Amino acid sequence: MPRKLVRPFILLSVFAGLCGLFSFGCPQDQRKTVKVMGSTSIQPFAEELGREFEAKHPGRKAQVEGGGSTAGIQALADGLADIGMCSRRLKEDEADRFTPVLIARDGLAIIVHPSNPVDDLSVEQLRGLFSGSITNWKDVGGNDAPVRIVSREEGSGTREAFMNLVMGKTRVARRAMVQASNGAIAAMVRSDPSAIGYMSLGQIGNDLKTVRVNHEAPTAESVLAGRYKLARPFLFVTSGKPGPDAQAFIDFVLSAEGQEILESEGLIRVK
């Protein structure tokens, strides 16, 4: 081969090889993606469901992102998500625009450090602790130590559920340490013997202590029976009729297999 043709031949070969490589990868890249955004409480469960969904449906992909319940609803309104995740009941204006699908129920657990001797609190005591009107643990049967409040950020479905179920019209104290996820709440309480926080029952580990509320322990059984009152819905939210790919994911989550996954992770199944 003439020398002057060697370089073009090499470049052409490289180009052809790259084209072959990219075309080989196309089936993976062309999978139909279902975009699921919102509640950080639902996020880890949706990620697990997404992995199982993809295994069952090789042509589809579930892309799950957090950001909070309100952010998920906004992403749905802006056309950035196919499904919004919401860990609270829809507000009146949201219910007029969007369609909720109940995928599971969850208890809202009150957590303290394992060394904290307090085992039971009333809703009124919780309101006092989180509002700042009760500032010392000794006032609710604990040690002589200051109460350090850990709360979720504005827009969090967990926070809004807590406000509705516990605080009512009473505000959380401004000195509360605000965290952006269940994991961050758990880390703060785990590291501070004087801390108190709240988080999804389905994400409680063995290194945290849950407190009974009005003498009732936060368990899946007590939530299902209606005895534990700090309970909330886990919702998938759509704008009108979902597309076929989003509907396929919703159907999987509501299937016996999807519900078994949620139940095995500590949530209360709906089917």
Beta carbons of 260 and 129 less than 8 angstroms apart: no
Strand partners for 237: 84, 100
Q: Are strands 209-210 and 231-238 parallel, antiparallel or unpaired?
A: unpaired
Q: Which CATH superfamily hosts domain 107-231?
A: Periplasmic binding protein-like II (3.40.190.10)
Q: What is the reported pLDDT for 30?
A: 60
pLDDT of residue 28: 46
- Cα 108 to Cα 90: distance, rounded to the nearest angstrom: 17
Which residue reads 């469960």 in tokens? 45
Output the pLDDT for position 21: 41
pLDDT of residue 235: 97
Query: What are 237's two structure tokens?
Result: 């939210």
Per-residue pLDDT of the chain (271 residues; tens, 9 = 90+): 554 444 444 444 444 444 444 444 444 446 799 999 999 999 999 999 999 999 999 999 999 999 999 999 999 999 999 999 999 999 999 999 999 999 999 999 999 999 999 999 999 999 999 999 999 999 999 999 999 999 999 989 999 999 999 999 999 999 999 999 989 999 999 999 999 999 999 888 888 999 999 999 999 899 988 899 999 999 999 998 999 999 999 999 999 999 999 999 889 999 7
CA distance 85 to 66: 8
* Equal CATH topology for 32-106+233-264 and 107-231: yes
**CATH T-level topology, domain 32-106+233-264:** D-Maltodextrin-Binding Protein; domain 2 (3.40.190)
| Whole-number Å distance between alpha carbons of 178 and 174 | 9
Cα 88 to its chain centre, rounded Å, is: 11
Q: Where are the domains of the chain?
A: 32-106+233-264, 107-231
pTM of full prediction above 0.85: no
CA atoms in the 13 A half-sphere facing the CB of 109:
27
Question: Could you give the dihedral angle defined by the CA atoms of residues 28, 29, 31 and 33, in that order, rounded to the nearest 10 degrees?
Answer: 130
Which pLDDT score, from 0 to 100, does residue 144 have?
98
